[in-house]
């Protein structure tokens, strides 16, 4: 985690709910964001991310719950009294104003004098690497430049908290990836608490200290990117973050069993779990010829039939039907060394899963 700027504030969200009639857009959500942390709200369309962000900003009124910025309850404060900078997905810049006038706008609202306004605009333009653009018209800028101006306008008054709603969704893939790194760098330099919304899991993993995943208005899990990937709380998270196949396993007195095979597991999951599943990340399975590797304390070996092999450039995706009948995906890197183990469709294969990569998740969620 980055060190917080002296002025950065923690955010405490407690039992926050927003209903539209009987529909719960945000349903009893509680978590904390540390001072200076970069946290992303991630989830499928309609899961309540924007509604939550709007409640933090003060544009939507919750039905219940509390939002504290530091030690201040802000639930009854209007947006401009919350000391929050905001960047929206469609930039929301004023087209009739120049770049400089756009950026100076929040300073004018706060009655900052002209000389200081000009100085701060110059400094923030340096920061977003658009020095010398103050006189330009908004219509003369590219999408990425507009996004940087929107960011400059959101941070020019040095808010203690920055909120961003899908800030990069209008940009093409390459620019989006560059901007992800740039925004993260800017956050690290300024150290403000930042909360961003996205439905792009790669963007969330790239930019964030922690990610809060939402499902149907509820917080499903909040964790670091690597914990979300390695230790998903349930099948929904495992499915949403990265690729995964799942096979049903049974509890027996000896341990968890797939077909008639006792599993060697890194994590047997919560003992009370109903419907345990073995999570199989495609890149963690390796393909070998039948009988080439034996099961032991350190690894699991599953036998099956290769069904299809799809070339995807840097890797190949191979579909295998395991003998008990479940179909799983295996990703094999496209290296010459791996080609010897590459099956054709219809060939028998063994799949090797090392014990540390064998994790159980619950079907619930």
DSSP, collapsed to helix, strand or coil, labels residue 168 as coil
Between 163 and 285, name the residue whose CB sits nearer to ligand ATP. 163
Would you give the binding string for ligand ATP spanning residues 40-79, x where CB under 6 A is met?
---x-xxxxxxx----------------------------
Between 83 and 165, name the residue whose CB sits nearer to ligand ATP. 165
- CA-wise closest residue to 207 among 84, 39, 44: 39
- Single out the segment in contact with ligand ATP by CB under 6 A; choices: 39-47, 112-120, 148-156, 270-278: 39-47
Q: Give 88: exposed, middle or buried? Use CB within 10 Å, 0-12, 13-18, 19+.
A: middle
User: Nearest approach, Cβ of 147 to ligand ATP (angstroms)?
Assistant: 18
User: Nearest approach, Cβ of 241 to ligand ATP (angstroms)?
Assistant: 16
Q: Does 196 bind ligand ATP (CB under 6 A)?
A: no
Edge to edge, the sheet with strand 327-333 lists 285-288, 348-354, 299-311, 315-322, 327-333
Q: Does 311 bind ligand ATP (CB under 6 A)?
A: no
CA–CA separation, 167 vs 180, rounded Å?
A: 10
User: Nearest approach, Cβ of 122 to ligand ATP (angstroms)?
Assistant: 35
User: Nearest approach, Cβ of 36 to ligand ATP (angstroms)?
Assistant: 25
End-to-end CA gap in the chain: 28
Q: Does 25 bind ligand ATP (CB under 6 A)?
A: yes
Whole-number Cα distances in Å, 39 to 3, 75, 344: 14, 20, 44
Q: Does 278 bind ligand ATP (CB under 6 A)?
A: no
CA–CA separation, 346 vs 114, rounded Å?
A: 75
Would you give the DSSP letter of residue 188? H
CA–CA separation, 241 vs 243, rounded Å?
A: 7
User: Nearest approach, Cβ of 43 to ligand ATP (angstroms)?
Assistant: 5
Between 62 and 106, name the residue whose CB sits nearer to ligand ATP. 62
Between 87 and 265, name the residue whose CB sits nearer to ligand ATP. 87
Q: Which residues bind ligand ATP (CB under 6 A)?
A: 20, 25, 43, 45-51, 199
């Amino acid at each position: 985690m980055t060190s917080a700027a002296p002025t950065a504030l923690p955010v405490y969200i407690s039992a926050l709910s927003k209903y539209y009639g009987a529909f719960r857009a945000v349903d009893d959500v509680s978590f904390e964001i540390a001072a200076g942390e970069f946290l992303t709200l991630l989830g499928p369309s309609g899961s309540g991310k924007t509604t939550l962000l709007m409640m933090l900003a003060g544009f939507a009124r919750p039905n219940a719950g509390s939002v504290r910025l530091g030690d201040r309850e802000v639930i009854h404060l209007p947006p401009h009294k919350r000391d929050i900078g905001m960047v929206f997905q469609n930039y929301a810049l004023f087209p009739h104003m120049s770049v400089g006038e756009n950026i100076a706008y929040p300073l004018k609202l706060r009655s900052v004098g002209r000389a200081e306004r000009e100085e701060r605009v110059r400094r923030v333009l340096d920061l977003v690497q658009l020095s010398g653009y103050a006189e330009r018209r908004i219509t003369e800028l590219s999408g990425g430049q507009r996004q940087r101006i929107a960011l400059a306008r959101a941070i020019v008054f040095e808010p203690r908290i920055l909120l961003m709603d899908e800030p990069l969704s209008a940009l093409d893939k390459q620019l989006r990836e560059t901007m992800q790194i740039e925004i993260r760098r800017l956050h690290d330099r300024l150290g403000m608490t930042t909360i961003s919304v996205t439905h792009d899991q790669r963007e969330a993993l790239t930019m964030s200290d922690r990610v809060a995943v939402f499902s149907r208005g509820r917080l499903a899990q909040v964790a670091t990117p690597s914990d979300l990937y390695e230790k998903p709380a349930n099948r929904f998270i495992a499915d949403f973050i990265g690729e995964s196949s799942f096979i049903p396993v049974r509890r027996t007195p000896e341990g968890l069993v797939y077909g008639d095979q006792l599993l060697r597991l890194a994590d047997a999951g919560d003992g009370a779990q109903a419907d345990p599943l073995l999570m199989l990340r495609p890149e963690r399975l390796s393909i070998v010829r039948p009988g080439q590797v034996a099961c032991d304390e350190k690894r699991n070996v599953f036998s099956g039939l290769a069904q299809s092999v799809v070339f995807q450039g840097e890797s190949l995706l191979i579909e295998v039907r395991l003998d008990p009948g479940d179909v799983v995906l295996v990703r094999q890197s496209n290296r010459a060394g791996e080609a010897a183990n590459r099956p054709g469709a219809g060939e028998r294969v063994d799949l090797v899963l090392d014990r540390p990569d064998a994790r159980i998740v619950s079907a619930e969620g």
